[in-house]
Amino acid sequence: MFSQTVIEDVLGTALSTGGDFSEIFIEDRFTNNMTLQSGKIETCLSGRDFGIGIRVFKGLQSVYAYTTDFSKEGLIKAAKNAAQAIQGNTIIKLPPFVQESYGTNHPIQLMPQDVDKSRKVAIMKTAYDSAKDYHDSISQVTVRYMDEEQNVLIANSEGKYIEDKRVRSRLAIQAVAVRDNQMEAGSYGPGAHQGFEFFENLNTDHYAQEAARIAVTMLDASPCPSGKFPIIIDNEFGGVIFHEACGHGLEATSVAKNNSVFAGRIGEKVAPEIVTYIDDGTLPNEWGSLNIDDEGEKTRKNILIENGILKGYLIDKFNSRRMGMEATGSGRRQSFRFAPTSRMTNTYIAPGKSSPAEIIANTENGIYTKYMGGGQVNPATGDYNFAIMEAYEVKNGKLGRPLKGATLIGNGPKTLQLVDMVGNNLGHGTGMCGSLSGTIPVNVGQPMIRVSEITVGGTKGE
Amino acid sequence: MEIQEFKTMLFSEAQKSGFTDIEIYYEKKEVFGCQVYKGEIDQYEIAEDGGVSFRGMVNGKMGYAYSEKTDDTSIPFLLNNAKENATFMNDDSMEEIFAGSSQYEQRNFFCSSITDVSIPEKIQFIKDVERELFAQDPRIVATDYCSIRTESVTRNLANNKGLSLQDKINYLYVIVEAIAKDGEETKTSVEFEITKDFHQLNAKEIAKKAAEEAISQFGSRNIKSKDYSVLLRNDAAANLFATFSSNFSAENTQAGISSLNDKLGNQIASQKISIVDDPLLENGLASRTFDSEGVASKKLTLVQSGVLQSLLHNQKTAKKDQTETTGHAHKDSYKTAVKVGPSNLYIEPSTTSFEELLASMGEGILITNLSGLHSGANQISGDFSVAANGFFVKDGKISFPVNLMTIAGNFYQLLQNVEEIGSDLIFPLSPIGSPSVLIKSLSVTVE
C-alpha cells in the first residue's frame, strides 16, 4: 500500500516532538451489505472504507490522529497534527522494521469479492422463504447479508511491520409474526471469520426457521412475572450475560484507571469453583477471531477466571503502561477512526459436568431463557441489564409456558458468585459489541448455566 | 485527487458506462477531541475524513456504491459495483434522482466561534471541569472520561439534473462521568453540555451537576415492586422516545413492522402530546436545509394533540402512499442507502415546570436514567422492559433513591397514559428530544 520509507517518515514525524512510541494503522476494507424484505432486495450496497490512523504515546499520554487523505503530504500532516500535542525533549531513533508474518489460523477458501452477487442473493432468498413459509402468522421477514474483507497494515516505532487480512461473513434473519393486534419478532444472526464458504456450509433453513419459530411462539407467550428467580440460561448467545456481567469489567480500559469492580483483585476468588472464563482470539474461523489484534500483537488464549480465581485481564498496549502488565493481544478498534483499546474477542465459560436435562430437572420454580437479546453494563458499579428474547417458566423440574417482555438486572460480580450449575454443551454465539473503540465483532459463548437468583423485571407484578 | 476533479471524472465515466441519472453525495468531517485524566491529557484526537457515495440509474434501476478513497482505482470500483448492485433491484423500486425543490431555506448551522477558540483554551477548560469535579465532594473518587470535542461536517449533494447543494454544521460538547464511592456503594453519573457558544460554558456548573447527580444516588433503598405513577425526567424520556422513533417512518409502516400502520387521523396518544420534526432548528444536532435526496427541508407536525397527522416520508414511500414527500429521506452517512429518518424530532414542551410535575405526581417514581434500551425494547411490538435508576417521590418531593429497577410496559400504551408534559425540552446528545413526561402507571421492579 505504502512504501516502508513513507511509513518510516510518518512514524518519525509523529515522534519529532518527543513522543516515546508511534504507530500507524492503515486500513483498506471492502464491504457488501444487502437487505431483503417483502421478498425483494431493498438495499444492495458495496463500499470501500479506507483510512489511516496515527498514534503517539508519551508516558501516559496518548494522541490519535486519523485521515482519509492518503497522499504522502496528507499523512505527514496528520503525523504533525498528532505530534503537536506532545511536548518532550528526547527524540527516539527508529529501529529497522522487522517484517513479521504469523501465517493464518483462519483459512479463507472463497474471497467474498470473487463471488458473484447473485449467489449471495440466492442465500438470502432461501432464508427468506424458509422463515416466511414457517407459519401463516409470519407477516414479514427481513434478511440481512454482510461480507467484508479488511486489509490492515500496522507498523510502529519498535520496528513492528505486519499485515493482516480479516474476512467476515454474516447472515441475520428477523421474522415478524402477527395475530389480531399483536406483533412479535424473533431473530437469529450467525456469522464467522470466514469467506463465502461460510454460507455454503450454513444450515440456513435451521436459522431462518428458528427466527420464525421464536416470533410465533411469542404470540402465545404470557407476560413474564417480576421478582427474583433461579435462572437457567441456555448455551451460545446466552453467554452475553457474562460478557456484560464480567467481560467488560475485566477490560484494561476500566481496570487501568482502577474504575472496575475487578481492579486489583488478581488471585482472589471471584466466582464458584465451577466457573472458568476464557477469552480466546485464536479459535479457528470464529466470528471474534483474529490472527493479530489491531496493534499487531498476536492474539492468544487468555484465561481470565480459572476455577473461580481471577487470573488476568484483557490488556492493550497503552493501558499496559498504566498497569505495568503485559499486553494480551486484546487491542481492538472498529476502524481507523478509533484508537484501539482493550476489548474481548471470543469469550466463553468453559464447559462443566451437568447435562442440560439435569439442570432443568433440578430447578423447582424458575425461568429458563432459551435465547437472550443484548445487554449493557456499567463497569464502575458492575450493574448490568439484559433482555430476554425467548423464555419459559420452569415448574418442578419441567418446562412450562412461554414468557415474554422481561429484562434481567443485577450486579456482575454478585451474579458471578451465584452460578450454581454449569452444563456440558458449550456453544458460541455471534454478536456485535459497542464500547470506546467502536463496534466490533465478538463471540459470546457458554454451556447452559444456572444462576441461583437474578432479578427479573417483567410486565406482571408479583 | 481533489473532490471536484473526482466528481467530473466520475460523472463522465458513469455516462459512458450506461448510467442515465447520476448523483454524488460526499461528506467531509473535521474532529478535535481531548480527554483528561488526573490533570493531564490522557487521550487526544484530531482528524479529517470523509467519503463519497455514488447513486445512479442504469437500465431503469438504481445502483449504489461508496468509497472513502478518491483515487483512479475507485471510479471503476464504484461504477462496476453500482451497476452489478442495480441488477438485483426491482423494477418498481420507485427510487429516482431528484431535480430539485423550487426553494431552499438559507440557513447557517456553522458557528465560527467554535473554531475560533484555540485548542489550548479548550484543553484548559476540560482540565478545569475535572478539577472542579473532584473539588465538589470527597466522595467523588474517579472519572472514566472527562472530555471536550468539536465536530464540523460538510455535506454535498450534486446530480446531473442540475442540483448542487451544500450544508455545513458544527458543534462542541463537553462530557464528564463522575464515579462516587461511599463505603461499599459506588454510583456514577454522566453530565454533558452541547453548545455553539464556547464562552457560555461554565466548568464549575457542569462539574457540580455531575457530582450532585452521582452523590444523590447514595443510600438507595428497596421499595415494593408494583405499578407506580412514573415521572420520566427529560433525558430518560428522550432516550425512550428515540428508541421507538422508527415507528413514525412510512418505510416501516409499509413494511408492516410499525404498529402505526393505518393509524393516520387516529388518536394514538394522550391529548397532551404533540410531536414535531424540525430540520431547521437553529441549534439542532441534525439540522439541515435539504434531505438525503435533495428535497428542501421544512418543519413537520407528526402528532397534534395526540392525533397522528403524518408519517415521515421520502420520495419512494410518498409515491407508495400516494402523498408528498415530507423531506425525510435519510442516510446515516455516505455508506448507506436512502432510507427514511427524522432530523430534529421532539415532543413539544408545555409550560409546566419539572417541580410542578413532581408536585402533581404526589407519590410515585422519578426515573432519571434508563439503560439497555437497545436490547430491552421491542421496536415492533412496542413492549419494553429496561433497567432504570431513580427516586421514590412522596408528597410531591424527592424522598430517597431506589435500588436498581426495571420499568416495563408498552410504548403505545404509555403514549396514551401520559398525564402531563413538562416545559424542560432537552436533546440528550442526540437529535431526538423530549421534556419530562408524567405517566399514570408503569410496572416497576426493584432489585
3-state secondary structure of B130: helix
Give contacts of A34 with chain B, Cβ < 8 Å: 88
Cβ separation B406–A51 shorter than 8 A: no
Cβ separation B49–A374 shorter than 8 A: no
Give contacts of B404 with chain A, Cβ < 8 Å: 383, 409-411, 455
Instruction: Categorize the per-residue pLDDT at B91 as very low, low, confident or very high, splitting at 50, 70 and 90.
Output: confident
Let me know: does B187 contact B217? Beta carbons within 8 Å: yes
Give contacts of B187 with chain A, Cβ < 8 Å: 381
Residue A386: which of B372, B405, B409 has the nearest Cβ? B372
**What's the rounded Cα separation, in Å, for the pair A355 and B247?**
43
**Which one has a higher pLDDT value, A226 or B343?**
B343
Q: How far is A95 from chain B (nearest CA, A)?
A: 26
- Sort residue A197 into left (φ over 0), alpha (ψ -120 to 50) or beta: alpha
Cβ separation B48–A68 shorter than 8 A: yes
Which residues sit opposite B154 in a β-bridge? B28, B168
Q: How far is A336 from chain B (nearest CA, A)?
A: 10
Cβ separation A46–B65 shorter than 8 A: yes
**Within B88-188, where are the H helices?**
112-116, 119-136
Mutate to test the interface with B, among A409, A418, A454 (most CBs of B within 10 A): A409
Q: How far is B423 from chain A (nearest CA, A)?
A: 30
Calculate mean pLDDT across residues B38-43: 90
Q: Are β-strands A438-446 and A346-349 bridged in parallel, bridged antiparallel, or unpaired?
A: parallel
- Three-class HEC string of chain A: CCCHHHHHHHHHHHCCCCCCEEEEEEEEEEEEEEEEECCEEEEEEEEEEEEEEEEEEECCEEEEEEECCCCHHHHHHHHHHHHHCCCCCCCCCCCCCEEECCCCCCCCCCCHHHCCHHHHHHHHHHHHHHHHCCCCCEEEEEEEEEEEEEEEEEEECCCEEEEEEEEEEEEEEEEEEEECCEEEEEEECCEECCCCHHHHCCCHHHHHHHHHHHHHHHHCCEECECEEEEEEECCEHHHHHHHHHHHHHHEHHHHCCCCCCCCCCCCCECCCCCCCEEEECCCCCCCCCCCECCCCCECCEEEEEECCEECCCECCHHHHHHHCCCCCCCEECCCCCCCCEECCCEEEECCCCECHHHHHHCCCEEEEEEEEEEEEECCCCCEEEEEEEEEEEEECCEEEEEEECCEEEEEHHHHHHCEEEEECCCEEEEEEEEECCEEEEEEEEECCEEEEEEEEECCECC
In this complex, is the C-beta atom of B43 within 8 Å of any C-beta atom belonging to chain A? yes
Instruction: Categorize the per-residue pLDDT at B245 as very low, low, confident or very high, splitting at 50, 70 and 90.
Output: very high
Q: Residue holding cell 444487502? A: A34
Per-residue pLDDT of chain A in tens (462 residues, 90 and over written 9)? 688 999 999 999 999 999 999 999 999 999 999 999 999 999 999 999 999 999 999 999 999 999 998 899 999 999 999 998 898 888 888 999 988 877 888 999 999 999 999 999 999 999 999 999 999 999 999 999 999 999 999 999 999 999 999 999 999 999 999 998 888 999 999 999 999 999 999 999 999 999 999 999 999 999 999 999 999 999 999 999 899 889 999 999 999 998 898 999 999 999 999 999 999 999 999 999 999 999 999 999 999 999 999 999 999 999 999 999 999 999 999 999 999 999 999 999 999 999 999 999 999 999 999 999 888 888 889 999 989 999 999 999 999 999 998 899 999 999 999 999 999 999 999 999 999 899 999 999 999 999 999 999 887 654
Position B447 scores a pLDDT of 83
Calculate mean pLDDT across residues B116-122: 91
Q: Which residue of B has its CA nearest to A81?
A: B46
Q: What is the pLDDT of residues B194-243, one digit of tens each?
A: 998 899 999 999 999 999 999 999 999 999 999 999 999 999 999 999 99
Helix, strand and coil in chain B, % to nearest 5: 25, 40, 35
What is the percentage of chain B residues whose pLDDT exceeds 90? 88
Give contacts of B93 with chain A, Cβ < 8 Å: 40
C-alpha cell at B218: 447514595
Give contacts of A385 with chain B, Cβ < 8 Å: 371-372, 376, 386-387, 406
Cβ separation B69–A69 shorter than 8 A: no
Cβ separation A51–B49 shorter than 8 A: yes
Residue A64: which of B40, B45, B380 has the nearest Cβ? B45
3-state secondary structure of B41: strand
Mutate to test the interface with B, among A251, A384, A407 (most CBs of B within 10 A): A407
Q: Which residue of B has its CA nearest to A50?
A: B68
Cβ separation B44–A85 shorter than 8 A: yes
What's at A325, amino acid-wise? Answer: M
